[in-house]
């Protein structure tokens, strides 16, 4: 299912055997026939660097955090998990940790523009003092969040005997004059009380509240808001390896921020022409190199990836390297430029390779070789005859994400009918799997997958475009464009994938 792998891929060594993927967990699974609310659809997924936490964002502006529990419950060191998985059947387990409202819908009165609360990207920052830090962004505003445990202080029972309090109306109702052990009242000792002196036998019924802090709760606090720096919709944010800066990218510009400074940023890439009629391409994705703080890559709607070096100049108008695959003139069509647009670009963990996703394929690039991709994986080859239909129902503009395994030996991306595909990218590897976001991911895809309830307009659109035939062909390729798996993430150190199907988060392991 994939093209030849160039011999230059030498660090992605070893031809691994095919993995057997299994269902692990699901969060937010909908019942049969249940209609999914638009605000509940997941729009971003991200593991933290150690893989102990997972964050999702949705179209309603909420961020939900999940925490890994299997290492805590069973006391298995993380380095031994891969060894024990095969022997005792253990797999990563996560639990719901907390959620908070990150963004609210806004209205820009100067531009008469409604700004959605939808979370476009989430990126984890370095942890400190057991607190979690992350960045989240919608179309216009980036926010820096701190999530920490805080002890909840409560007033415990007062130092009184509950049985006596029940029969003592005065004590239960908090008399204004405390009763003394000798039968007298406090007014007899008012002068002594003012002088802080008490009778020798003490005041037996004086009730003193005690403050205790037994419970802990998670509190999310917005530390900083980075706003008013983008005229166009933000499509990417990425942390720098220096732990101090990050970038944000929209269609025409990339800005560099310091985490501690929210009122100014530096424009490092600007592709806006003087005359907007001369605009030929836009920025679609951007990411920092995982270890070189001066290097970043950004992709464009023309199918190219540019590697830039921040040491060359303050405004990086010129790129250090350009990665693009030349089209064969005879194969060009009306849809060529549309399907060439790169929707996502990711660095491998070692920084040597980059993975890009366009509408039809996944491409693996060697940063030392800009003549072309070292591997191409066909994802939507079966959709070539249907490009007209895809264009008319706007599916051709869907932006699928991609991800790499921590060891760089496998890549993954999503497709339609809530399917996702995993490919081996080591030299000579034939490892390829197509799975469905369900509790039985490896079931035969020749069966018609269950479809969520759809609005009348979407049903009419599907029928009108001539999709009456079988929705899945004999090879398991889907033609159901109403369900799509756009967002997924690979665990940084294990063969575990989290992916989103509408409002449900599915976890798989191998």
CATH number for region 22-154+214-509? 2.130.10.10
Most confident of the ranges 24-33, 133-142, 310-319: 133-142
- The pLDDT tens digits of the residues spanning 174-230 come to 444 444 444 444 444 444 445 556 666 666 666 677 777 667 788 999 999 999 999
Q: Please state, in angstroms and rounded to a whole number, the distance separating the CA atoms of residues 320 and 317.
A: 10
DSSP β-bridge partners for residue 55: 46, 65
Could you count the other beta carbons within 10 Å of the beta carbon of residue 335?
Answer: 16
Look at residue 253 in the predicted model and tell me its pLDDT: 97
- 453 against 48, higher pLDDT: 48
Lowest mean pLDDT among 58-62, 137-141, 197-201, 228-232: 197-201
The whole-chain average pLDDT of the chain stands at 81
Stated length of the chain: 510
Locate the domains of the chain by residue range: 22-154+214-509
Report whether 270 contacts 282 (CB < 8 A).
no
Q: Does 162 have pLDDT greater than 90?
A: no
Lowest mean pLDDT among 77-81, 82-86, 231-235, 457-461: 457-461
Look at residue 33 in the predicted model and tell me its pLDDT: 77
Q: What are phi and psi of 460, to 5 degrees?
A: -60, -40
> Per-residue confidence at 426, pLDDT binned at 50, 70, 90?
confident
Q: Does 298 have pLDDT greater than 50?
A: yes
Structure tokens at 81: 């998990």
Torsion sign (Cα): 69, 74, 75, 77 = negative
Strand order in the sheet with 253-258: 236-239, 245-249, 253-258, 261-270
| pTM of the predicted model over 0.75 | yes
């Amino acid at each position: 299912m994939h093209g030849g792998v160039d011999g230059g891929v030498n660090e992605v060594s070893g031809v691994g055997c095919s993995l057997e993927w299994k269902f692990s967990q699901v969060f937010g699974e909908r019942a049969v026939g249940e209609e999914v609310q638009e605000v509940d659809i997941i729009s971003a997924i991200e593991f933290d660097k150690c893989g102990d936490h997972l964050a999702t964002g949705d179209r309603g502006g909420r961020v939900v955090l999940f925490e890994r529990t299997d290492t805590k419950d069973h006391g298995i060191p993380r380095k031994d998990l891969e060894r024990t998985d095969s022997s005792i059947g253990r797999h990563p387990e996560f639990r719901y940790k907390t959620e908070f409202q990150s963004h609210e819908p806004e209205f820009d009165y100067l531009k008469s523009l409604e700004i959605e609360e939808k979370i476009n990207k989430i990126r984890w920052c370095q942890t400190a003092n057991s607190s979690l830090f992350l960045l989240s962004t919608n179309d216009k505003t980036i926010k820096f969040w701190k999530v920490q445990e805080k002890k909840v202080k409560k007033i415990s029972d007062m130092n009184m005997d509950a049985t006596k309090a029940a029969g003592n109306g005065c004590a239960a109702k908090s008399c204004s004059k405390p009763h003394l052990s000798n039968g007298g009242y406090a007014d007899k000792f008012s002068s002594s009380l003012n002088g802080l002196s008490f009778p020798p036998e003490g005041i037996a019924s004086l009730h003193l509240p005690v403050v205790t802090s037994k419970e802990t709760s998670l509190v999310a606090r917005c530390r900083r808001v980075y706003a008013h720096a983008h005229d166009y919709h933000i499509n990417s944010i990425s942390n720098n390896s220096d732990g101090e800066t990050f970038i944000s990218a929209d269609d025409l510009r990339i800005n560099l921020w310091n985490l501690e400074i929210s009122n100014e940023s530096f424009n490092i890439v600007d592709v806006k022409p003087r005359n907007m009629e001369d605009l030929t391409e836009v920025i679609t994705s951007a990411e920092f190199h995982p270890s070189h703080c001066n290097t970043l890559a950004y992709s464009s709607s023309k199918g190219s990836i540019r590697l830039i070096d921040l040491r060359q100049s303050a405004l990086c108008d010129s790129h250090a390297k350009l990665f693009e695959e030349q089209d064969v003139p005879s194969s060009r069509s009306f849809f060529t430029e549309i399907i060439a647009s790169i929707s996502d670009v990711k660095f491998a963990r070692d920084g040597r390779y980059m993975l890009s996703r366009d509408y039809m394929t996944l491409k693996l690039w060697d940063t030392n070789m800009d003549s072309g991709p070292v591997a191409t994986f066909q994802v939507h080859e079966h959709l070539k005859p249907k490009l007209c239909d895809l264009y008319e129902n706007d599916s051709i503009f869907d932006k699928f994400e991609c991800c790499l395994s921590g060891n760089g030996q496998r890549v993954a991306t999503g497709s339609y009918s809530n399917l996702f595909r995993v490919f081996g990218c080591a030299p000579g590897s034939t490892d390829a799997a197509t799975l469905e976001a369900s509790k039985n991911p490896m079931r035969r895809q020749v069966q018609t997958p269950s479809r969520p309830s759809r609005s009348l307009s979407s049903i009419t659109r599907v029928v009108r475009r001539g999709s009456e035939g079988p929705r899945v062909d004999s090879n398991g390729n889907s033609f159901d464009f109403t369900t799509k798996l756009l967002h997924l993430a690979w665990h940084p150190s294990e063969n575990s994938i989290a992916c989103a199907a509408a409002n449900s988060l599915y976890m798989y392991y191998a």
